[in-house]
């Protein structure tokens, strides 16, 4: 009872603080909400079991590596935001061509990420029902795809839009409750000397390729790049940095507690493993997590579907309308739903976003080489990011394929 009270209190207090005018009316914080919502999404639900299963006690180090890698790719995007504002209409021709290629890459990354979101939505939606099972989860996912297509085709996505700030605030409040519960559980284990220090089941190249395949779980910061009509370049740059720092702290605390508090034998590696594990802390957390998962997946899927359709229409200069972009997205998504599992889709999405980050890094490198005053360290750093992104695209792997290899 005491733990449940503390969890509820922490959820309520977090929600109240974030709704205070100091946050709710802050331009920087509201700009931060968009990338924050994208980064702390579905990945938060599946990441801990995957990391602990594969990496054991060094899972926090791998998490730190993912956060640092994402922050460095974010540095390339932030540089591009600043330089694009400086260049204005006199943008370099090669840069413009790379920007178009990057936009197409982002379209297809969105299409795969929607499959990732909605497959998790299906799994979590039926996980606590008598209908739990992969086939029923896939049927529900397919039905949600068709619902999204129907609404997007006939009415546009205004009919499904939610108050983004409210949704993100609720999600952050629930995450705070989760961290409070984990701290309590970790302290109890530590006091009794029952912490776990598992050895890694993966080492070397397989361990690295799995980490490559988990990039999607720290993706989302790129959304700051596309807030130009609402916020200045400096606010977009600051919002991306703040979102990545906040998310990095949350992820490190979360994985740091999780890695040592649970025995690997206590869970099976599947997309809803986190629910059973949180039930060991308190049943209250399972209810909160399922609610947060459903809201997060559905809202993220709507946002990426809308963004994908809009980009298709913009890139084809209206020759293909957003509605036909939705049809393409749904067709690809339903095929993925029935032909791949969630862990494979995670790896596909990671590669797709890594390709986008590779192109953005190439754009940053090009700008650095043609801009006077750019230091050699910046030029070298962006070139290294291009190589790193290409390696993720080529070698990123999912957890099941890695274990089978």
What value, to the nearest 5°, has the Cα angle with vertex 342 and ends 336 and 345? Answer: 55
Tokens of 144: 């949600």
Specify the pTM: 0.85
pLDDT value at position 162? Answer: 47
Q: What is the pLDDT of residues 169-179, one digit of tens each?
A: 788 888 889 89
Q: What is the pLDDT of residues 270-314, one digit of tens each?
A: 777 788 888 888 888 888 888 777 777 776 777 677 777 777 887
- Alpha helix positions (H), 192-269: 204-212, 233-261
**What distance lies between CA 360 and its chain's CA centroid?**
18
Tokens of 306: 């809308």
Tokens of 66: 């993912």
Residue 270 phi, psi (nearest 5): -140, 175
Instruction: Tell me the C-alpha to C-alpha distance, in Å, between residue 57 and each of 61, 126, 212, 215.
Output: 9, 32, 19, 20
pLDDT value at position 88? Answer: 57
Q: Is-contact 126 136, C-beta < 8 A?
A: yes
Q: Is-contact 120 46, C-beta < 8 A?
A: yes
Residues 335 and 331: their CA atoms lie apart, in Å, by 6
pLDDT value at position 244? Answer: 92
pLDDT along the chain (405 residues), means of 10: 88 88 81 78 78 92 94 93 70 84 87 82 81 85 85 65 64 87 92 90 88 85 73 88 91 92 81 81 86 74 73 79 82 87 81 92 92 82 94 82 54
Tokens of 285: 């957390």
pLDDT value at position 387? Answer: 95
Q: Is-contact 130 137, C-beta < 8 A?
A: no
Q: How many Cβ atoms are within 10 Å of 336's Cβ, its own excluded?
A: 23
Q: At what angle do helices 283-315 and 93-126 cross, to 10 degrees?
A: 150
Question: Could you tell me what percentage of the chain is helix, strand and coil, using 3-state DSSP and rounding each to the nearest 5?
Answer: 80, 0, 20
pLDDT value at position 315? Answer: 81
Which domains, from first to last, does the chain contain?
Answer: 2-18+27-190+199-404 (1.20.1740.10)
Q: How high does pLDDT run on average in the chain?
A: 83
Residues 351 and 42: their CA atoms lie apart, in Å, by 17
pLDDT value at position 227? Answer: 67
């Amino acid at each position: 009872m005491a733990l449940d009270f503390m969890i509820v209190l922490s959820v309520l207090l977090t929600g109240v603080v974030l709704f205070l005018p100091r946050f709710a009316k802050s331009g920087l914080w509201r700009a931060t909400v968009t990338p924050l919502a994208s980064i702390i999404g579905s990945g938060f639900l599946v990441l801990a079991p995957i990391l602990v299963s594969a990496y054991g006690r060094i899972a926090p180090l791998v998490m730190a590596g993912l956060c640092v890698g994402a922050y460095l790719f974010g540095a390339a995007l932030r540089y591009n935001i600043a330089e694009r504002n400086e260049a204005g209409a006199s943008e370099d021709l090669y840069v413009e061509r790379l920007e178009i290629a990057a936009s197409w890459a982002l379209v297809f990354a969105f299409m795969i990420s929607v499959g990732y979101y909605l497959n998790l939505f299906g799994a979590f939606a039926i996980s606590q029902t008598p209908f739990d099972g992969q086939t029923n989860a896939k049927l529900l996912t397919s039905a949600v795809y068709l619902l999204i297509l129907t609404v997007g085709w006939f009415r546009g996505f205004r009919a499904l839009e939610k108050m983004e700030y409210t949704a993100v605030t609720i999600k952050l409040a629930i995450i705070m409750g989760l961290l409070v519960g984990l701290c309590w559980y970790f302290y109890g284990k530590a006091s009794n000397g029952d912490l776990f220090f598992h050895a890694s089941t993966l080492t070397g190249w397989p361990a690295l390729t799995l980490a490559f395949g988990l990039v999607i779980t720290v993706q989302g910061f790129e959304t700051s790049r596309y807030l130009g009509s609402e916020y200045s370049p400096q606010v977009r740059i600051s919002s991306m940095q703040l979102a990545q720092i906040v998310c990095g702290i949350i992820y490190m605390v979360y994985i740091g507690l999780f890695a040592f508090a649970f025995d690997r034998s206590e869970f099976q590696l599947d997309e809803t493993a986190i629910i059973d594990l949180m039930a060991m802390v308190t049943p209250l957390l399972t209810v909160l997590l399922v609610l947060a998962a459903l809201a997060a997946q559905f809202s993220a899927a709507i946002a990426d579907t809308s963004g994908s359709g809009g980009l298709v229409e913009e890139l084809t200069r209206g020759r293909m309308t957003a509605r036909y972009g939705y049809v393409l997205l749904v067709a690809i998504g339903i095929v993925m739903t029935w032909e791949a599992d969630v862990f494979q889709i995670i790896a596909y999405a990671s590669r797709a976003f890594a390709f986008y980050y590779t192109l953005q890094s190439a754009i940053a490198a090009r700008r650095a080489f043609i801009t006077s005053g750019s230091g050699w360290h910046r030029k070298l750093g962006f070139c290294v990011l291009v190589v790193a992104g290409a390696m993720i695209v080529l070698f990123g792997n999912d957890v099941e394929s890695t274990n089978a290899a």
